[in-house]
Amino acid sequence: MEVKELMLRPWETGFELPQTFNMVNLLLERHLSGNQADRTAIIFRDQEFTYRQLGRMTNQIGNGLIRSGVKPGDRVVILLHDGPEYVALFLGAMKMGAVPVPINMLATVDDLDFFIRDSEAAAVVMESEIYDKLADRLPAMDCIKALVVNGEAPQGAIGLAPLMEAASDKLDVYPTSKTDHSYWLYTSGTTGLPKGVIHLHKDLVYAVETWGQHVVNFTPVDRVFCSSKLFFSYGLNFALYLPLYYGASVIFNPDRPLPETILSMIEKYRPTGLFSVPTAYGQQLNYLETCDKQPDLSSLRFCISAGEALPGSLLRRWRDRFGFEILDGLGSSEVSLIFICNRPGKVKENASGLPLPGYTIEIRDELGNPLPVGELGELWVKSNTLFAAYWKNPEKTAETLVDGWMKTGDMGHLDEDGYFFYSARANDTMKVSGIWVSPLEVEDALLSHPAVAECAVVGEADAMGLIKPKAFINLKNGHQPSEEIASELKLHVKQNLAPHKYPRVIEFVDELPKTATGKIQRYKLRQA
């Protein structure tokens, strides 16, 4: 069966992919004939790149990797800024049978060293500023066959542009199996050493179209803008896999995702869909309060939030300001994509949403026993999109993948309608007076106070060794830390939640520790 002839309805019983299958066929190859080839694939720095142009760049990079000694199954580490070259490299590596491995551009030198060595990368394609950071360490990395630099290439490396110019723009798709490695991602390391998450060519087929059809009815005329970079799972999924799968367009931001930058790009490039994180949505609202500006967001037909739970207070502020809702969702690097999501017209505040077709979820206790509606426990999920394994970490793989299910490490509960309410990561929830307390619930109450810009809540032992909530709070401009405002905030929480949930201690901070994706690192606050 030809890939072009597939009836791609992966949520239906009996759906099967051919044994020989390469995901690049769906992301690129099927768009390279007819009128689709001349449609816009990428918008970057006021330039538009068609699918035909993207196809040529992909083939040139794929051939360049082959000429440099890269073989099918080899890992290709990507350390590039978002743009057409990034996408072409990701697709080119996959097309010639290698395994692209996007890496966090903001990582420390020690972490970059770890990622390259741990993945045993055969090729590393990096920006010149990244090369400068790693120059002293690269000679000792014996696994590297090809060192490619975007910019002026130092001795021992090849420039990305010359590599492409010297290569043919014709390349056949390598006949990978649907169960061959397709791409890897490294976890953000919020709870320990980053882990290499292995995904197979089949995985995203069961995820992308399911989300696109059942959440926003995505079409080829849509235009995506995502504030998260491609080296994050969220950015990779919704700024590469989603638009390319559907033959749609994506807008890339070459600059830092500051609130004024995001808003100006929406006004200029008119995306139909915005993908961002709660922190960024909050920063946009706070920015607009200081400049009293009303940006034109009329091109947007949907806004998606993921990466961390969306507080109900933030959802209300956005809806009151712009007149439409943000759709919150829950996903992970291991599950491939957002698999629980709110739907237009069916949004529940503080809920991550309903599971998508093709995903089965349960809330279980510490022993793995299913819990009834309303009880707090760990979220387990079962689907065809789950990762295959953690690279070189069989113990953690066996701990996470159990009898076809995945233990997500996310705590929460289901309501009577089947909506999932996220509480925290497994080690972030706390028992106060013998009752489970979600830090997100307390944070949402604090954020509803007009003086609070950002906050995070963790458990801290009191003088008797009993766990009580402690809040770290960043105040909005115009508000100064004081005992009076701390007392006011405690009272505010007591008036909105059960009394035992209020923060016994409040510490004012200038900023909260976050991962590069904007997730608050509560474990650092617990160590403070």
Dump pLDDT digits (tens) for 207-226: 998 999 999 999 999 999 99
Q: What gap in Å lies between CA 19 and CA 28, rounded to an integer? A: 19
Shortest CA distance to 523 belongs to which of 433, 428, 438?
A: 428
Nearest to 69 by CA among 127, 117, 23, 121: 121
CA distance 180 to 226: 28
- Checking if the pLDDT of 265 tops 80, the result is yes
Return d(Cα 353, Cα 342) in angstroms, integer: 4
Sheet containing strand 467-475, edge to edge, reads 452-461, 467-475, 505-508
| Integer Cα distance of 259 and 117 in angstroms | 36
CA distances to 225, 412, 478, 479 from 471, in Å: 33, 20, 20, 17
pLDDT at position 354, please? 98
Structure tokens at 466: 């009993």
Q: How far apart are CA 201 and CA 180, in angstroms?
A: 6
**Model pLDDT, residue 466:** 64
For the chain, the farthest-separated pair of C-alpha atoms sits apart, in whole angstroms, at 72
- Quick one: DSSP state of residue 476? P
Give tens-digit pLDDT for 318-335: 999 999 999 999 999 999
143, two tokens: 């696994």
- Element (H or E) spanning 439, and its range? helix 439-447
Report the percent of the chain where pLDDT is more than 90: 76
CB 474 within 8 A of CB 453: yes
Res. 70 pLDDT band, cuts 50 70 90: very high
Query: Taking CA 322 as the corner, what is the angle to CA 320 and CA 325, rounded to the nearest 5 degrees?
Result: 75
Q: Where are the beta strands (DSSP E) in 300-400?
A: 302-305, 326-331, 338-341, 354-355, 360-364, 377-382, 389-390
Q: How far is Cα 372 from Cα 364, in angstroms, rounded to an integer?
A: 9
Cα–Cα distance measured from residue 68 to residue 122, given in angstroms and rounded to the nearest whole number:
10
Report the predicted TM-score, pTM, of the whole model to 2 decimal places.
0.84
Of 426 and 248, the one with more pLDDT: 248
What confidence score (pLDDT) does residue 435 get? 67
CA distance from start to end of the chain? 58
């995901």: which residue's tokens?
23
Per DSSP, the three-state class of 259 is helix
Of the candidates 329, 306, 335, 330, which has an alpha carbon nearest to the alpha carbon of residue 405?
Answer: 335
Residue 21 clears pLDDT 80, i.e. is over it? yes
Mean pLDDT value across the chain: 92
Tens of pLDDT, residues 362-391 = 999 989 999 999 998 999 999 999 999 999
Which one-letter amino acid corresponds to residue 36? Q
DSSP helix/strand/coil, 258? coil
In whole angstroms, give the CA distance from residue 106 to residue 517: 10
Query: Domains in the chain, start-ordered, CATH in brackets?
Result: 19-38+45-200 (3.40.50.980), 205-425 (3.40.50.12780), 430-527 (3.30.300.30)
Taking Cα atoms as reference points, which of 357, 403, 397 lies closest to residue 380? 403
Q: Classify 139 as helix, strand or coil.
A: helix
Q: For residues 89 and 280, give the distance between their C-alpha atoms in angstroms, rounded to a whole number.
A: 28
Residue 192 has pLDDT above 60, yes or no: no
d(CA 378, CA 361): 10
Q: Determine the Cα angle at 518 with ends 513 and 523, to 5°.
A: 40
Q: pLDDT (tens digit, 9 = 90+) per residue, 380-438?
A: 999 999 999 999 999 999 999 999 999 999 989 999 999 999 887 776 777 676 566 77
Of 202 and 34, the one with more pLDDT: 202
Percent helix, percent strand, percent coil in the chain, to nearest 5: 35, 25, 40
2 compared with 342, residue with greater pLDDT: 342
What Rg value do the Cα atoms of the chain yield, rounded?
Answer: 23
